[in-house]
Every structure is written in C-alpha cells, then in structure tokens.
Structure 1
Amino acid sequence: QVSLLHTPNNNPSKTQNNNKIMLLMRLCFSLFIYLLILIFFPLLLPQYIKVFLNESWTARFGTAMETKSLTLLWSITVSIFAIGGLVGALIVSIPVKYLGRKGTLLANNGFAILGALLTSLSKTAGSFEMLILGRFIIGLDGGIALSALPMYLGEISPKQIRGSIGQITAIFICCGVFSGQILGLPELLGGKESTWPFLFGMNVVPALVQLAILPFLPESPKYLLCEKNDYIKAQKGFQVFLGKEDVTKEMEEVQREKRNQKNVNLVSVCKLLQKRSMRWQIITVIVTMASYQLCGLNAIWFYTSSIFKEAGIQEHQIPYITLSTGGIEILASLVSSLTVERLGRRPLLIGGFAFMALFFGLLTVSLNLQNKVFWMPYLSIIFIIAVIASFCIGPGGIPFILTGELFDQSCRASAFMIGGTVSWLCNFAVGLLFPFIQSALGSFCFLVFAGIAAAGAIYLHFLLPETKNQTFAEICLSFAKINKKSHVSAEETKTITLSEFVEISASNVMNRKPNIEPDDVECTV
C-alpha cells in the first residue's frame, strides 16, 4: 500500500506500522461484510427452514399448514431481510451524522448480534416469529452497514488507492458467499436438519471480532474536520491511516472542501433531490444501484443446480461443484481490486454490465438447446461462470465507490441513503417478482436481465465520467457541462473556489486533457 501512496518513507518501522494498520483496517471491515452475507446462506437450505416453519405452526395451532400458506410464510421469511435493509438505508444518515462513520459501524454490531441470537434460538423456542424478526434485524444491520462502510472507506482512503480500498466490500462479500457454501456442505452444518441454527449463530463471531478491533482505529478524518471541526483528531487520523507524519497536503485538500461548504449545512435527502447542480450525479447513482440489483445475478443461483444436473453431475456432488462459482467470484473481485486504479471505474463497470448482457443472451440460447445438443449443458456452465465473473469484476463493488466519489461531504450521507434505498427496493422487487417471471418466461427470463444490464452499460457509457485519481472538485467539473443546462442557481454554484479552478485547469493542460471553458462551471472567489 505504501508504494501506491507515492509518499516516500525512509523509516522501515513506520512502513511496517502502516502495513499493519492497513491490514487491521481491512480485516475489521471485511468481517462486517462476511457477517452480512453469512446470514443469507442458510436460506439456500430451504427444505430445513420450511420443515421448521411447518412444525412450529403445527405445534402452535394444532394443524399443519397448507402448501400455499407455507409458501407465503417462507416468502415473508426471505423477503423481510430486504425490508430491514430498506429501513436501515432510510435511517443511516442519522447515525453517521451524530455517531460518525466509525461510531455507526460499532453500534450497528448490536443489531448483528441481536439478529443472530434471535434466528439461532428460534428453533429451540419453537417460534417462527423469532426467525422472521431476526431476519428483519439482520437486514436492518445490512442496510446501515452497506451505506456506512463504503462511506467510511471512501473518506479514509487516499485518492490514489480509493478504488482498491473500496473494492474490499466486494471481495469479502464473495468471501462470505464462499464461506457460507463451505459451511453448508453436508459434512458440516448443512447435512442435518438440526444444525441449521448453528449456521445462523456463527454470525455473532465476526461481530464480536469487529467490536474488539474497530475501537483502535480512528474516526474518518474528513468527518472530524468538516462536520466536527476537530483539526487535531483529523490530523492524527490521517497520520495513522497514511502512516506518515506530514499530512499537510491531505489536510489542505479537506479544508478546501470545508471552506467551499462553510455556509452550507448538511444537505437532507429532499434538498439534495432538489439541487439542480447534483441532478445527474443523483440519476447516475440511482441507475447504477438499480442495475446492480436488477442485473440478474441472484437469478443465476436458481438455475445452477438444475444446469449441473443436466450436465450429468450427480446430485450429491453438486454442492462441491458449486464451490467453484464461489472461487471464481473471489478471483474476479481480486482482479478488479488490482486493476481498478489502472483501468479506472468506467471500463470495469461498463464492461461488466456489457459482458453480463452478452453472456445472459448466450445462456438463454444454450438453455433452450441443451436437450437437443449433448454438450450444451457444459456450455451453460461456462456461461454461468462468465456471468458471475463479469459481475464481480465491475458491478459487484464499484457502485458503492461511485456513490462516495460523486458527492461532497455535505451531501454524501444523503446520497448513500438514496442509493441504499434504491438498492434494497430493487433487491426486494427481484425476490418478490422473479418466481413469477421465471414461471411465465422459463429460461427466457434471462433476456429481461440482459436488457437491464445492457441499458445500464449504455447509460454509463454516455454519462459517467472517469473518477480515478480525481478530487471532488475535478469530478464536479466533469458533470458541469450536463448540470449547467439546468440553470444552476447562484446558491448552488458554490462548489469550487477560483484558485481550485485555476489549479485543476493547469493540471488538465499538463495532462493534455480537453480544455475546460470558464462557462462550464461557476466558481466562487
């Protein structure tokens, strides 16, 4: 990490300490995402959960549930997670404002522990209500985490490695998926009906580990300086995260952003939606988050087992073959993390959606021909792996990075609230509507997701600027030509100072970028 920061450090012990801090930081935050995903994978063993729902209902009311009622209760148990996530996304701006980014993540572990206890003890108590309530609380935990965590990572990361650090979320989501697949194997916790509560209960472990580690890391320096006016703690925070004593450049950059907002309070969601100068940034976040959830990755899992069976793989071997998809996810996310600062956000995000659309189309063809051509099932497996890899290389993590990069400190919390709300609503819609789409269209349902992925790629191709190594002021200039058509009011134009405009323009000339005309952006002196 030190070499990527381009900050010379002649003290070997300081370099070692910096590496340790970065490792500690990654471990702490990754455990939180690991916690989030592990709660999902017990629901890939629906036969056990449905038996519990039926048994607890029978014990309570004396009669077994009808098939339709059981399906409805099962659907509620699954979808309540997304409802909790939506609530978490709607309220996240409050704790990140008053508790800070780090404080929010610490407090949020309480929801994680409570949800894990309720779900793991529901079988012992014979209460399906505990399972549903626990799922809601874990969803609440996830909704807060997936907004506060990218916000924190984006604010503590130098712009040179902001994308790589932001990809931690995607990498450890994949690690959580892979861990859930392993723990769900028949030899471990997925082989008996009596063991599924332990799989839920294991979510307590990462939460406790994070509670032990996170207090030793500083709060976001940007939050401390811009919102709490605490110069000393902000400076110390930068020194810890960057592993160097001289953080003058970083402090000046944040102070410039603070000066531009000195007459601007934290912007609420309603006010942000009304700001014409942020109109296309908001639309970009909404489109990106909607495409992220609606591009059809979750639908792949519904077909994986049947496709493996068609390929001649015996049923008892399928869980082990499925592990390969988890491994591909991790590998693709690592590749994305290593290349996002070289290639940029645009190519990975647009390319990811475009390749997903392509492979979804090819998968539709192969699924409809696999009964006619003996080798088609094997080709379908390749297309499934290609779809998963395409998602993890770009769309899997970059949307969270973009949300933090497109908005300044005063708007960032509300922007994450908007993005999170869209994400969880789309997640809920997929879970609710996919069974009906699958029933009506069969394997042709993938064409719907191909269309959504293609539409997302086209929009981003024309309207998303590159944000790699860019400050907020530079990113704002990239959107200026679009937003100026909205006749930005004088109050909304206090985005960058004249000195910043001159500095950025000079930088563009040195880097042979297209000239920025003075009328493309309004500057304040």
Structure 2
Amino acid sequence: MDEQKDDQTDQDDSTNNSEKKQSLTACLLCAAFFGSLGSSFLYGYNLSVVNAPALYIKAFYNKTWIERYGEPISAETVTLLWSITVSIFSIGGLFGALSATLIIKVLGRKGTLLLNNSFAVIAAVLLSLGEMSRSFEMLIIGRLIMGVDSGIALSALPMYLGEISPKHFRGMIGQFNSILICLGVFTGQVLGLPELLGQESTWIYLFSFLALPAMLQLCVLPFLPESPRYLLMERRDEAGAEKAFQRFLGKKDVSQELEEVHMESRAQDKLHTVSVLQLLKSPAVRWQLITVIITMACYQLCGLNAIWYYTNGILREAGFTESILPYITLSTGAIETLAAIISGLVIERIGRKPLLIFGFFSMAVFFSLLTVFLNFQDRVSWMPYLSYVCILAVIASFCSGPGGIPFILTGELFEQSYRPAAFMIAGTVNWLSNFTVGLLFPFIQTPSCYRAPSSLHLHLHHHRLGSLSPVGLCSAVMGHQSLTAKYLKHG
C-alpha cells in the first residue's frame, strides 16, 4: 500500500515537473494577444478615447442643434447629450454580457470573438460618419454598439484564455486581458494628443481607429484553434481537441490533457449547461459565486474612477501648465500598463489571492494618504507632487491585482457546465456597477471640485471609504474553505 502511494507521489511529481518544463508556444501567445487585441484592448480604448475630443464633440452637438432648430443648444441639453454618449457604453455592455452566454453556446469561444468584431466595425463606421452626416444620434448609437462589443468580449475572452492555457501559465495568459485593457487606455491617451488626432479637424479618426484592432483579429484568429475543452466537452470532437492541445502546448503527446477533460466530462455527464437561475440556486457553488460577485463589483467600485476625474485638477494645483497636462497624464496610462505586465509575470509565483488583497489594501492606503495630502495642498507648495505620486501608486495598486484577477477567477472557480452562466452574472455585475458609478457621480460633483482642494478632499474621502470595504470582504470570502481545490492550488 505504501509502495503504491510512493509510486503515485512520484508520478504526480514527474507530472508537475514536466508541466513546469513546458514553455510558452507561439500559438498560445498569438491566441492570447490577438484574442485580447480585438476584445479587451477595444474596451480599454473606449474608456479613454472620449476624453480628448470632449470639447469638440460638444461643439458638434451645438452646431448640429443650430442647423436643425435655428438656436444654440442649452447648457443642460449639452450636458444631457454628453452624459448619454458616455454612459450608454455601459448599457450596451450590459446587453452584451446578457447575450454572451447564448452566443458562446452556439458559436464557441473563438467563434464568438470573431463574430463580435462585426459590432466593432459597425460602431467605428457610425462614430466616424456622425459628424459628416450631421447626426449626433449616430455617435450615441455607435457608443451603444461598441458597448455591446465590449460586453460580449469581456465574457468570451477570459473563458477562451482560461481554457486554452495550461495550469502553470493560466494566470499569466489570463492577465493578457488586463494588460490589453491598460494598453487600450494608454493608446487612447496617446492618440488623443493635440499633435496626433486630438484636434477639431481629426477627432473623428479617433473612432475610425476602432476598426483596426478588429480587422487584425479577423485576419489572425481564424487560423488559431478553438478551445480544446469546448471542442471535447460540448462538441464531442476529440480529434479537433487533440489537435488544438497539440498546437497550444507544442507537443504531440497530449493524452494526459485529454484524460483530464474526459474525467471532468464524465463527472458532469448528468449535468447539462446550467442556467443563471440554476446557478443562483445551487448551494454547491454558492461561495464561488459570492466571491466572483464581490470581486467584480469591487473592480468598478473600488474608487479608481476618482483618479480619472480628478487627475487634471490635482496637476493644475501642482502648478503644471494647461499645455503640458495631456503629456503628464500619459504617465498614468504608462504606469497602468507596466503594473499589469508585472502582475502577469509574477501571478503564478505569488498567487491570485495575495495579489488581489494586496492591491485593494494598497489602494486604501494610498487613497488615505491622497486625502491627507489634498487637505494640505493649498498650504504646502510641494504637497501637490506627493498627491501626484499617490495617484500613480493607486493606479499601480489597482493593476497589480484587482484590475485583471476578477476575470481570471470566474473561469477558474467554475466547472464547464457552470461557466457560461457564471460569466453572464459576472459581466452583469461589472456593467451594472460601471453604470452606477457613471450615473451617480454627477450628483456628487460640483463645479468647485476642480479648484478647491477641500472639495477634492470630500469626494476622495468618499472613494477612500469605498476602497476599504473590498479588503475585508475579499479576505473573508476568498479565504473560505469551501472554495474549489483548483483555486486554492493557484493561491
């Protein structure tokens, strides 16, 4: 009996060692990069692309209104139209998240990503032709369709990345989602510079750019395999799954990987793909579901939005001139991207839970310091520079874990039959939280907040308190013993 245990232990050790010796293949990296390029990159790009041309878009609204009605548009109407233009992206994202499960079930993971590019191209056309057509409605509809694209992408992409990557690379490959979101934000900031496309005559090309990543994905992704787990468990295509595993893993003998999927398939033979209602009622995955809901809500509600709203105001207080503010703001996007890349490199060594809790805890600390520094910003000449450092630290803390890990968790905490419904719930929570922030923020924002450090103090104090709660909640939920063994194995 002892000899059998020793043999089994030796076999497990050799399996783990062989896994660790495997290297990343070009096929796996291409699938992760180009899958993310036409998906999460576009989501990040759309978060920042509307900032640079905001004044020009509002001027376009006013010009169109005069042509239609013979009088200038009121300030209240401009604000309403602009708010709709920005926030309708989240409404589209919610629709996309709700429809993703059905599309993924019919077309598969890769097929869904390919179809989703049609939404990006249509949105790019509408957004680009809106000014020429003298129709601000085209801008609003284009933003709505782009939201649908992002809602579907943020459900299908993490599922695809999680199912094509081996266990020892799953965290790093999953972080491509977060890295490309950050890179998209940074790209939107760069292209929005006045020397590039951030001018009155060229701002429409910022939206034309949306079609480029989508077309690149359409050119590359068809030549890469579908998720082998999807092929084997849902399409019963063992030959296709074997070829997919061979290409992604870079080896001929994939019998062990196929057997693992077969074991999971046999365990779930009596289980069909569960609905959202069945998932909500299932006690077997209750704590996994609570974990995903809380982490995804904290992803949007952790207070990072305050940074994007107040960065320019803080930099003005620091004495930076208006002309160089866009270039200094680029540092926030650069730090965001760098932190996401570093997180992807260390996630397998450190683990998901430590990075997530560290990120939220660090955000709470730096938000607290930022509140203190802002309170003394008008009394000490060099204090604004410390505020700026805190801004960079908050962004780096967010991207070190909370910015990408919630998407990875959803794929790792649920088995195949639960996964589509879990991603629908996660996506719904994500987009509802996003919309809530965008809807409620104008009610706490006042004109003086751009000038008075005391107003900044009040608003950031609100977000600081919001960033403290995820620390305790995530620590309690993610430390619960009923989480799956697979997740605990990854930290």
| TM-score where L is the length of structure 2 | 0.91
The equivalent of 2:32 in structure 1 is: 26
Q: Structure 2 residue aligned with 1:157, among 156, 160, 165?
A: 165
In structure 2, the partner of 1:492 is none
How many angstroms does 1:104 deviate by? 0.2
How far residue 448 of structure 1 moved from its aligned partner, in angstroms, is: 2.6
- Matched residue count: 465
Pair 1:131-2:139 in alignment: yes
The answer to whether structure 1 residue 38 and structure 2 residue 49 are counterparts is no
User: Which residue matches 1:497?
Assistant: none
In the other structure, the counterpart of 1:396 is: 403
State the 4+ residue runs in structure 1 displaced beyond 4 angstroms: none
SS of the aligned residue for 1:410 comes to coil
Q: Which of 452, 470, 477 is matched with 2:466 structurally?
A: 452
5 Å-filtered alignment, 1:301-450, equals 301-439=308-446, 442-450=456-464
In the alignment, does 2:8 pair up with 1:6? no
Q: C-alpha separation between the residues in 1 aligned to 2:386 and 2:273? A: 52
Q: CA deviation at 1:7?
A: 6.2
Shift of 1:330: 1.3
Q: How many Å apart are 1:299 and its aligned residue?
A: 1.9
Find the aligned partners of 1:323 and 1:452 in 2 and give their Cα distance: 26
> How far is 1:369 from its partner?
1.0
| Runs of 5+ unmatched residues, structure 1 | 10-14, 479-507, 514-525
Distance 1:466 1:276, change over 3 A: closer
Deviations 1:195-236 (A, max 9, x none): 111010011111111000000111111111111111111111
Counterpart selection for 1:89 from 66, 84, 97: 97
Counterpart for residue 109 of structure 1: 117
Contact 2:374 2:456 in 1 (8 A): no
Correspondence for 1:474: 485
Q: Partners of 2:209 and 2:318 in 1: how far apart?
A: 34
Q: Does the alignment pair 1:172 with 2:185?
A: no
Alignment partners' CA distance in 2, 1:64 and 1:74: 15
For the residues of structure 2 that align with 1:393 and 1:347, how far apart are their CA atoms?
A: 10
- Displacement, 1:148? 0.3
Q: Tell me the equivalent position of 1:522.
A: none
**Structure 2: segments with no counterpart, 5+ residues:** 1-15, 450-454
Q: Residue type of the partner of 1:413? A: P
| 1:145-294 matched pairs, under 5 angstroms | 145-190=153-198, 192-294=199-301
* Cα root mean square deviation, aligned: 2.0
Over 3 Å counting, the alpha-carbon distance change for 1:8 and 1:349 in structure 2 is closer
Counting aligned pairs with the same residue, the percent is: 55
Provide the C-alpha distance between the structure 2 equivalents of 1:195 and 1:365, rounded to a whole number of angstroms.
41
1:37 offset after TM fit, Å? 2.5
1:74 CA displacement:
0.7
State the secondary structure of the residue aligned to 1:172: helix
Does the C-alpha gap of structure 1 residues 5 and 305 become closer, same or farther in structure 2, counting only changes over 3 Å? farther
Distance verdict in 2 for CA 1:5–1:295, change over 3 Å: farther
Partner of 2:475: 461
1:54 and 2:65 are equivalent in the alignment? no
Question: Is the contact made by 1:344 and 1:466 (CA closer than 8 Å) also made in structure 2?
Answer: no
The answer on whether the counterparts of 1:154 and 1:404 sit within 8 Å (CA) in structure 2 is yes
- Give 1:301 deviation, angstroms: 1.3
Give CA deviations for 1:336-381 in whole Å, capped at 9, x if unaligned: 0111000000110001001111111111111111001111101100
Q: Distance in 2 between matches of 1:227 and 1:452?
A: 41
Q: Distance in 1 between matches of 2:311 and 2:189?
A: 13
Amino acid at match of 1:464: M
Quick check: 2:373–2:386 contact (8 Å CA) kept in 1? Answer: yes
SS at match of 1:94: helix
Task: Please say if residues 95 and 148 of structure 2, whose CA atoms lie closer than 8 Å, have aligned partners that are also in contact.
Answer: yes
